[in-house]
């Protein structure tokens, strides 16, 4: 039997999603809670691997067990009691054996938050960046970005992938108020470090230190050394992971808990 888990987490205390030899990860913590609750080893596969310090408002993972089990409110509650406060399981639901948290996903949607003002309550959840940014120019850069599919220039050099093509659905900056900006981007897949590098490069445009022509030349160069520095991890959130309707319909009545 295969089950999907919908969860969220604050990534500040973790060395990313993936199990690490030298640091705590979200995957390891989740697997430990499931193993404790089931009384036998449970291993999970996520929709994607978030980097150290990156957060997820919605993440999906799947795991396999030999027999079905009762999906009661108390079962999910007990798992959330085992997990630390910065990881929350919202629901668990059965899926078909062929359904895969990573390979069945149709899109991933990220947001990056920037604030000019320091906040005692948003520490670790937004990038505190004081200079004023020109979001008009940054949105013009987004329009250029949407004209391309090869994003090797924004991928970490050690990325172990067969190609660097991604289909972007949208990319834009939204000014929340005079002190806050949010970058929205959705694609069928993302390369390692891609969103943070795009944000870091667009910050150069927003400060008018880089022209739109220079930005497009960076994309065309397919050279990570040409792009800007990656923005800090703390401002990045995985917001939503999309799946075909037939996958999520199986979980429409799944047990839900948490915020």
Report the Cα 82 to chain-centroid distance in Å.
24
Q: Which two tokens stand for residue 134?
A: 């020109």
Residue 110 annotated as binding site:
yes
202: closest CA among 235, 166, 164, 162?
235
Of 51, 73, 99, 223, catalytic? 51
Cα–Cα distance, 4 to 248 (Å, whole number): 9
Has 51 been annotated as catalytic?
A: yes
Cα–Cα distance, 246 to 95 (Å, whole number): 9
Quote the strand ranges of 195-251, DSSP E: 236-242
* Dihedral sign for Cα atoms in the order 217, 218, 220, 222: positive
So which residues are the catalytic ones? 51
Binding residues are 110
Binding residues for substrate are 110
């Amino acid at each position: 039997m295969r089950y999907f888990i919908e969860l969220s987490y604050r990534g500040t205390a973790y060395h990313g999603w993936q199990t690490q030899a030298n640091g705590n990860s979200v995957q390891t913590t989740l697997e430990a809670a499931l193993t404790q609750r089931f009384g036998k080893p449970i291993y999970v596969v996520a929709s994607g691997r978030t980097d150290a310090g990156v957060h997820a408002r919605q993440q999906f993972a799947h795991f396999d067990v030999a027999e079905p089990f009762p999906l009661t409110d108390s079962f999910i509650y007990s798992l959330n009691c085992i997990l630390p406060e910065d990881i929350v399981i919202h629901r668990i639901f059965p899926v078909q054996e062929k359904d895969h948290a990573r390979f069945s996903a149709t899109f991933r949607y990220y947001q990056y938050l920037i604030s000019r003002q320091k906040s005692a309550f948003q520490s670790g959840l937004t990038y505190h960046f004081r200079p004023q940014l020109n979001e008009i120019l940054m949105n013009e850069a987004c329009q250029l970005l949407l004209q391309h599919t090869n994003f090797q220039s924004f991928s970490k050099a050690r990325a172990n992938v067969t190609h660097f093509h991604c289909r972007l659905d949208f990319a834009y900056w939204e000014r929340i108020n005079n002190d806050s900006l949010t970058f929205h981007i959705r694609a069928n897949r993302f390369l390692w470090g891609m969103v943070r590098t795009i944000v870091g490069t667009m910050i150069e445009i927003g400060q008018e230190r880089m022209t739109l022509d220079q930005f497009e030349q960076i994309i065309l160069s397919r050279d990570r050394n040409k792009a800007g520095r990656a923005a800090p991890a703390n401002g990045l959130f995985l917001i939503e992971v999309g799946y075909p309707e037939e996958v999520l319909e199986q979980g429409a009545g799944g047990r839900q808990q948490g915020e």
